[in-house]
Structure 1
Amino acid sequence: MDDWIDYYDSTHTIYVSKLHRDLHFQQIAKDIIGYISSHDAVVLDYACGEALSAAKVADACGKLILAEPAPGVRGRLIARFAPSTRIRVRSLQDLRKMEEKSIDLAIMNSVIQYMTPDELDAAFATIRRLLKPNGRLILGDVLRPEVGMLRDVLALLRFAAAHRFLKDAMIGLVSTALSDYRQLRSRVGLQRYSEAEITAKLATSGFSASRAHVNIGHNPWRMTFVARHAF
């Protein structure tokens, strides 16, 4: 995961335009809010990234914890949300010091493709310790083995057409093909899981899980899972 942390801590070009970036985070925030069942809920966003629409999520819950491994991104989050009484920014290491059974909802969205299987097991163990007995883990944007990059491209183009930034998307796809992201993706690779594989991996970590009908975000060919403590 370190290579990907370094990449996201740099000035990268994963979004084709500012509009794409803003709409991306707005869509994710909207989808996350759909899983919040109480205005008093404590929500953890694990490896949250820039979290540009986190304020909207925070308005829907009691407390939002943004846990981010990249130090530069984390610094920007701290600066942006310092005035907020509902948002706290933490490192992944900080989570180990948090009180157990203190989280109602944990989100891992578009994260596990960058983690080794051992790193993912460690993350699941941390989250399971933090979740309340009736808490939930939402595992979003899981890449499937049989779905290649072409579907990612099609999903982006559909999203772009719906929101009128198709020209920027076409230019951005060409830039991405020549970018550090594409080179890193080719060199390091991304982790992919079938539905059976990810539910089994969650079961090994003490969760029972089922696939959600709709994925978080704009890509319908990726998967989201809802996991709970296996009693």
Structure 2
Amino acid sequence: MVSSWREFWDRDTPIYVSARHKARHYAGLADEIAALVPHPGAVVLDHGCGEALFADRIAEACGRLLLCDASPRRRDALARSFAGSPRIAVLAPEDVAALPAASLDLVVANSLAQYLTDAELAACLRDWRRALKPGGRLVLADVIPPRLGAAADATALLAFARREGFLAAALLGLVRTVLSDYRSLRRRLGLTRYDEAAMLARLCEAGFTAERMPRNLGHNQGRMAFMALV
């Protein structure tokens, strides 16, 4: 039995309903992150990057891209995929804690906060705050508000699938997800949720000046994104 979200993400998961779903998700996310890069020489950390299939698009927009994921399996795959990319490095979470102070221009943490405890998020905020340069930015995205349920997530996925041409796969994938252990894990382990005021308060307590962004990263606009400045 899977005992943690970290263990869940270190294996094949039912989250992506098809290869096209996965590709369109990561391609769109890479383009959104690349658009956030403040200047061509920026050092960027994508914390909780997942498979980062199109990380080379982000690397083209910045000077150095650091990809961090808690899954050893994913880190190995990322290191193989981008072995020929001198601008890209792959880190474990403990490596982020060891980054030099004031060494980053931008940190993006997308779809990460829900899988962390409140204490774990606070530790990440301290690490990111210390590693960001004066004027640096943190984008904390895909934050789940308290009343957003699985039905809303499913509706957002189907709308995305209709736009991107994998609707039939999405319908079948939702059935597979219901029958998989992801649903039971959501009940057993839970997802950490924040309303807008609570997340802004946590960012302020960590030493950031923050505001909610007009749009979330990715397709699910029922979730929230925040911009935090050092």
**Please, what TM-score do these two structures have when normalized by structure 2?**
0.97
> Alpha-carbon deviations, 1:95-133, whole Å to 9, x = none?
222211000000000000000000000000000010001
- Contact 2:38–2:105 at 8 Å: present in 1 too? no
The match for 1:124 is 125
Q: How many pairs were matched up? A: 228
The match for 1:94 is 95
Structure 1 residue 31 corresponds to structure 2 residue 21: no
Q: 1:86: Cα distance to partner?
A: 0.4
Task: Please give the secondary structure, in 2, of the residue aligned with 1:34.
Answer: helix
Percentage of pairs with the same residue: 45
Structure 2 counterpart of 1:187, one-letter code = R
Q: 1:186: Cα distance to partner?
A: 1.3
Task: Please give the secondary structure, in 1, of the residue aligned with 2:141.
Answer: strand
CA–CA distance in structure 2, aligned partners of residues 3 and 53 of structure 1: 27
Q: 1:146: Cα distance to partner?
A: 1.8
Unaligned 5+ segments in structure 2 are: none
The match for 1:16 is 17
The match for 2:41 is 40
CA–CA distance in structure 1, aligned partners of residues 13 and 224 of structure 2: 25
Task: Please give the secondary structure, in 2, of the residue aligned with 1:152.
Answer: helix
Structure 2 counterpart of 1:102, one-letter code = S
CA–CA distance in structure 1, aligned partners of residues 54 and 9 of structure 2: 18
> Alpha-carbon deviations, 1:191-212, whole Å to 9, x = none?
1100000000111111111011
Task: Please give the secondary structure, in 2, of the residue aligned with 1:147.
Answer: coil
Structure 1 residue 182 corresponds to structure 2 residue 162: no
RMSD: 0.9
- Contact 2:103–2:133 at 8 Å: present in 1 too? yes
- Contact 2:104–2:132 at 8 Å: present in 1 too? yes
CA–CA distance in structure 2, aligned partners of residues 222 and 53 of structure 1: 23
Q: Matches of residues 2-13 of structure 1 in structure 2 within 5 Å? A: 3-13=4-14
The match for 1:206 is 207
Q: Matches of residues 10-159 of structure 1 in structure 2 within 5 Å? A: 10-159=11-160
CA–CA distance in structure 1, aligned partners of residues 151 and 35 of structure 2: 29
